[in-house]
Structure 1
Amino acid sequence: MRASLLLLLALLTAANAAAAELPQLLKLLREQPEHSWRQLNLNAFREAWTPEALRARPIPSVDNPGRVISAWGGFAWDDRRGDLWLWGGGHADYAGNEMYRWRGSTLRWERASLPGRIEPVAPATYVAGDEQTPVSAHPYDTSEFLLGIDRFVAFGGGAFNNGREFVRREADGSLRRTGPYLFDPARADAGKTGGITGSGVSAATRGGGMWSNRDLAARFPDFPVMFRSATSGRTTEQGRDVVYVSTPPGLGTDQWLYRYTVSDPADPASDRWEKVGRAGDAVGGQGAGAVDAANGLYVRTGNAAMPLYFWFLRTVGPLNQGRAVRAADLLGAAEAGLVMHDRFGLDYDPVRPRLLLWGGGAQVWSVTTERGARRWKVAREPVQTPQGAPGADVGRGVLGKWKYAAGLDVFIALEDNGNVWAYKPGGWREPSGL
């Protein structure tokens, strides 16, 4: 319980400062009924797209920037600024590694960087023109914003165009896996490439030096081979940013749990990567995950037979076995009309300690647990739609396109077409000091 209170305090401290700069957005949320949806964006995502002349080659690089969202995409919510950060694309979809931003202060989409040049280094394998910058990738549910160090983190997934890990080219021409990468939002600039000057698609484009490569694979032998279908959840432990990641350790599908701890953006050597949970009941494939701070759990979505899968976070280590919540043991699922599939999004609500599921459309479900995670229950939220709701078609999945925004006390959902929605829960708490 103490850990969950510290997390909530950390979130709200940063978030309340940001909320004071969002009067237009807060006015909309005050007017919005509880248990309802509201569309927030004032412009279309495509209005922010990189001009075709400045997109990463080859052109067409399979498709357009819309794939940053629809190709197993996910975003990170920035509670410092009240902004949504979006990066993605990847294997067989889009080569551009530019960053996009939906700004809470203006309610508008904008580009936060231009893409960089990519270079082939092996069959279907590319690196960015600047080794500090990632190539594009499907992020699934691994895009997170680290409040303590004020950075977006990209672990990757299906990278362009090998469909696997990020790679780094060594001086002798050999390749090895690398990453993750951090993006500095303070350096965001729509007119600059995310890497250094000279790494852009156009040689005339100035560099913003926005990315840095933490290169954990060089120091940690158990750094996963890739992050395909991975899930993640952020938290704070002992004053440091922590991300829990569930992903297969190699080329299989059964997922293990890892912990990434970062405290100094200027010192990659201080980062820590640990294996803190092993696969138990076989659950793999795409999904979404979150840290349940009140119960000391990492929870990810599963499938119809095993709707949820979790690890204890108070007994972390290589022998900490993951456990499945089977369909027959998820109380209330039939009454709530919930049939789990691999396209749901999931995040944690620290104000009303529970997990919230969204799989497209208007309906939202809450999930709670008690008795040491021996009893699980799901309930259908009493949703109303006076101002509409997102569409039911979620394409390849919601995954990382459903996040709790602490400074606003709402859940943010992103549709594949770029529409940004807020779901306002019951018992909404207005940010303090406003």
Structure 2
Amino acid sequence: MRRLSTYAILALAGFAAQAGTWIEIPKSRMREVCPAKAVKPSTKDCAAVIESWSGGAFDPVGNRMFLMGGGHGGYYGNEVYAFDLDTQRWTRLTNPTTPTADAETVCYSTWDGGHTPTARHTYNHLAWIDHLGELFLFGGVTSCRKGGSLEDSWVFNPLTRSWKLKSRASPVGDNFVQIIYDLESREVYAKTHSGSGTNEALYSFNFFTNRWTRRVSEIDLDMLYRTGTLDTKRHQIWFVGDGTVNTLLLHPPFTLETIPTKGGNAIVNTRSPGVAYDPVGDQIVAWCGRAPKCRGAQTNEVYILDPVKFTWTVDTPAGEGPPPNNSSAGTFGRWRYAPKNDVFVAINNVDNNVWLYQPDRQPLSAEARKNAHPSK
């Protein structure tokens, strides 16, 4: 395992390490910024922000990973966390809102007089909105003991550290939705979960009108244990997990295809892996951070898919890699590409340090880093 001091990491030209390397950022446990007191009536502590079916989103300009989670009778804290790769520090951006007295039995979508969303499972429902510089949250499963799917849409401004409700209801109406932000259209796309019955469709959210629009119906792909990422070169979403690899064009005719890949059965069969597009290498990079559901994939392994040949390569980087998270939930959006440093960020436990995966290539020039993430 490679442990680097803060100075050493910064000295590596923006985390540039030897090719194919795991880097553990020291003293980067999220636990250090968790609330000191339990959020009643929680049965769990802030560990559930990660372990309870929750994801994350990455701000490529601010170079930060955002997390929010909890929900379903476990953790009632709705605070927002951010890990800054520049400072290598966690910040709790908000304090948990005090739940209502009947929060265990009544399934609310908001607290604090409607100004903040409740704690919830966030799955793959978080996305960073480049042109707004804000975090987007859709629905999820709320905090009450019995749970319950939400269909509200919010944005969080990290400068004011405040939430704004964009839409109280939506036609999407389910959990296990895949949320994808598209810089080209400046809209968010939502692929629904088949648990919503006839609502098997693709929707988009417009931030000018604050409305959801159905783009196409009859897209037969269950989102329950799959994670998607936007391939910006081909303008299509890649879905990986639960036994298949699929692509969905993000423009008419919105074609869905099943891709017969080779060499990556372990990650393909994983439930809710971490999946991220690598714009520099033009490849799909996937990782499983949870032991019970990895289906043979190891937490020190990184799976790389060639989007043309449809073949997987298994990279076992130098170092033992992140410790596994023994939760039964998935990795979801807590595996993201950071273009400024040309690394992938892995977060899978509040008591583990943050880990970075350095791809197998030479350090990027300043121009290449800029091109890895187009300006908004």
What range is the shorter-chain TM-score in? 0.7 to 0.9
Change (3 A) 1:385 1:116: same
The counterpart of 2:27, out of the listed 35, 42, 66, is: 42
Q: Report whether the alignment pairs 1:301 with 2:240.
A: yes
Contact 1:332/1:377 (<8 A) preserved: no
Distance in 2, Cα, partners of 1:31 & 1:248: 39
Q: Report whether the alignment pairs 1:151 with 2:134.
A: yes
Contact 1:91/1:137 (<8 A) preserved: yes
Q: CA deviation at 1:107?
A: 1.1
Counterpart in 2 of 1:6? none
Contact 1:244/1:298 (<8 A) preserved: no
One-letter code aligned to 2:354 = V
Aligned residues: 348
Counterpart in 1 of 2:315? 382
Q: Report whether the alignment pairs 1:225 with 2:154.
A: no
Counterpart in 2 of 1:98? 79
Contact 2:194/2:223 (<8 A) preserved: no
Distance in 2, Cα, partners of 1:229 & 1:411: 23
One-letter code aligned to 1:234 = Y
SS of the counterpart of 2:31?
A: helix
Distance in 2, Cα, partners of 1:88 & 1:431: 36
Q: Report whether the alignment pairs 1:111 with 2:84.
A: no
One-letter code aligned to 1:143 = L
Counterpart in 2 of 1:187? 160
Q: Report whether the alignment pairs 1:391 with 2:294.
A: no
Counterpart in 1 of 2:295? none
- More helix by proportion, 1 or 2? 1
Larger radius of gyration: 1
Q: CA deviation at 1:339?
A: 4.7
SS of the counterpart of 1:323?
A: strand
Q: CA deviation at 1:321?
A: 5.4
Counterpart in 2 of 1:258? 203
Range with greater deviation from structure 2 (416-425 or 406-415): 416-425
Change (3 A) 1:282 1:150: closer
Distance in 1, Cα, partners of 2:103 & 2:315: 53
Contact 1:158/1:164 (<8 A) preserved: yes
SS of the counterpart of 1:380?
A: strand
Q: What are the Cα deviations for residues 286-317 of structure 1, in whole angstroms up to 9, with x where unaligned?
A: 3211111222212222322xx1122222215x
State how 1:20-419 maps to structure 2 within 5 Å.
Answer: 26-28=10-12, 29-30=14-15, 32-52=17-37, 55-58=38-41, 61-119=42-100, 120=102, 123-126=105-108, 127-161=110-144, 162-166=146-150, 179-188=152-161, 210-215=162-167, 217=169, 223-226=171-174, 228-238=175-185, 240=186, 242-248=187-193, 251-252=196-197, 255-262=200-207, 270-304=209-243, 307-316=244-253, 320=254, 322-325=256-259, 329-333=260-264, 338-360=267-289, 361-370=299-308, 377-386=310-319, 388-393=320-325, 395=327, 396-416=329-349, 417-419=351-353
Range with greater deviation from structure 2 (68-77 or 376-385): 376-385
Contact 1:367/1:377 (<8 A) preserved: yes
Contact 1:277/1:322 (<8 A) preserved: no
Q: What are the Cα deviations for residues 335-355 of structure 1, in whole angstroms up to 9, with x where unaligned?
A: xx6552213111111112121
Counterpart in 2 of 1:193? none
Contact 2:191/2:223 (<8 A) preserved: no
Change (3 A) 1:401 1:338: closer
Contact 2:200/2:220 (<8 A) preserved: no
- TM-score when normalising by structure 1: 0.73
Q: CA deviation at 1:25?
A: 5.1
Distance in 1, Cα, partners of 2:274 & 2:314: 15
Q: CA deviation at 1:367?
A: 1.8
Contact 1:25/1:105 (<8 A) preserved: no
Runs of 5+ in structure 2 lacking a partner? 1-5, 290-298, 370-376
